[in-house]
Structure 1
Amino acid sequence: MRKQFAVIGLGRFGGSICRALSRQGMEVLAIDKDEERINEYSSIATHAVIADSTDETVLKNLGIRNFEHVIVAIGDNIQASILTTLILEELGVQKITVKAQNDYHEKVLKKIGADQIVHPERDMGERIAHNMVSNSVLDYLELSDEHSIVELIASAKMNGKTLIELDVRANYGANIVAIKRGEEVIVSPQANQQINKGDILIIIGADKDITRFEKQLLD
């Protein structure tokens, strides 16, 4: 069975999630107060409905509690975002992900039961900044305030060395969880796995440890 998602708010963030889920074959209910946006996504989402998500009766009638995951992607209206999240929680929705505008907004969302809170603009800014600072960083994903997953390009210093020779965990406190080599992806590589210059290393660890690894082992 296809997973059922509802996306509330079809701005840039909500719209991109709606498109991505639809491309993956998921069942998507798109909700927005703007008729033009609903018309735009009527051919993309499984269902597209003009509705006010701050009206509990409307959400009940849409059967929102039957959806496995609801994404609240409301733009600048923090009050509407908070009220919608509160209603979804009270209706017993299994998983609620909400776009936060700022830290205060996030604190309120946590208190009222949001399962996952995202800051798309801030997170994208972090990723772009990391890419700008280092030519070796391909991608960056913040896991918490202090931990991240980073994609790095293996340098000439690492060429021909095995993971046990580098001993990244002991020397840097980080873990290489996968290696991409062309079309091949090596998941949970063994200690005797050799690294080639140009391999893409997926590393998880504390930010300070990953930074130290970058400075000492990358070009």
Structure 2
Amino acid sequence: MKKEFVVIGLGRFGGSIVKELIDLEADVMAIDISPERVDEYAPIATQAVVADTTDESVLRSLGIRNFEHVIVAIGENIQSSILTTLMLKEIGVPKITVKAQNDYHAKVLQKIGADNVVHPERDMGIRIANNMVSNNILDYLELSDEYSIAEIKASDKLVGFTLIDLDIRAKYGVNIVAIKRGKQILVSPQAIEKIQLEDILIVIGSDKDIHSFEKKALH
């Protein structure tokens, strides 16, 4: 069976989610209060609807509670985002993911029961900043306030050494969970695996330890 989603708010963030879910062969109901945006996504989404999602009766009439996951991607209107999330909780939607505009908005969403709160602008800012600060850090994904996953290009200093030689976990407190080697991905690489030129190390650890590893081991 295809997975079924509802995406509320068809701005850049919500629209990109609709397109990606459709590409992944999911069923998607796309909702926005703007007829122009709904018209734009009508040819893409499984179903596209103009609706005010702060109205509980409207949500019920659309059968939203029958969908397994609703994404609230409403842009600037924080009040509508909060009210929509409340209404979705009221009617018993199993899983709700909501885009937060700022930390205050996120705290309110968490208090009213959002299952997952995302900060796309903040997260993208963090990734871009880390990429700009270091030529070795290719990508950066926050797991929490203190822990992240990073893709780091192996420097010449590491090439030819095995993971056991480098003893990165003991020295720097980070774990290499995978190695990207061209089109190949080595998941949970063995201790005897030698680092090769152009390898990309996927490491997990605290932000402090990742940056320490990047500065001390790669320069």
Normalising to structure 1: TM-score of the pair? 0.98
**1:151-193 CA deviation, whole Å, 9 max, x = no partner?**
0100100001111111111111111111010111101111111
Q: Measure the CA separation in 2 of the matches of 1:128 and 1:87.
A: 35
**1:104-138 CA deviation, whole Å, 9 max, x = no partner?**
11110000000111111111111100010000111
Aligned-pair distance for 1:197? 2.2
What letter is aligned with 1:16? S
Q: Measure the CA separation in 2 of the matches of 1:156 and 1:199.
A: 10
- The answer to whether residue 20 in structure 2 is matched with residue 20 in structure 1 is yes
Aligned-pair distance for 1:56? 0.5
Q: Which runs of 4+ in 1 moved over 3 A?
A: none
Unaligned runs of 5+ in 2: none
Aligned-pair distance for 1:204? 0.6
- The answer to whether residue 144 in structure 2 is matched with residue 113 in structure 1 is no
Q: Measure the CA separation in 2 of the matches of 1:87 and 1:134.
A: 44
Q: Measure the CA separation in 1 of the matches of 2:64 and 2:168.
A: 47
Q: Which residue of 2 aligns with 1:65?
A: 65
Q: Measure the CA separation in 2 of the matches of 1:115 and 1:173.
A: 31
- The answer to whether residue 151 in structure 2 is matched with residue 151 in structure 1 is yes
Residues 195-210 of structure 1: matches in 2 within 5 Å?
Answer: 195-210=195-210
Normalising to structure 2: TM-score of the pair? 0.98
- The answer to whether residue 113 in structure 2 is matched with residue 130 in structure 1 is no
Q: Measure the CA separation in 1 of the matches of 2:165 and 2:91.
A: 54
**1:84-119 CA deviation, whole Å, 9 max, x = no partner?**
001111211111110111111111000000011111
Q: Measure the CA separation in 1 of the matches of 2:218 and 2:64.
A: 49
Q: Measure the CA separation in 2 of the matches of 1:20 and 1:146.
A: 29
Q: Which residue of 1 aligns with 2:171?
A: 171
Q: Measure the CA separation in 1 of the matches of 2:184 and 2:113.
A: 40
Q: Measure the CA separation in 2 of the matches of 1:16 and 1:202.
A: 26
What SS is found at the alignment partner of 1:44?
coil
Aligned-pair distance for 1:46? 0.5
What letter is aligned with 1:63? G
Q: Which residue of 2 aligns with 1:191?
A: 191
Q: Measure the CA separation in 2 of the matches of 1:178 and 1:147.
A: 17
Q: Measure the CA separation in 1 of the matches of 2:6 and 2:104.
A: 25
Aligned-pair distance for 1:24? 1.0
- Equivalences, count: 219
Q: Which residue of 1 aligns with 2:9?
A: 9
- The answer to whether residue 181 in structure 2 is matched with residue 181 in structure 1 is yes
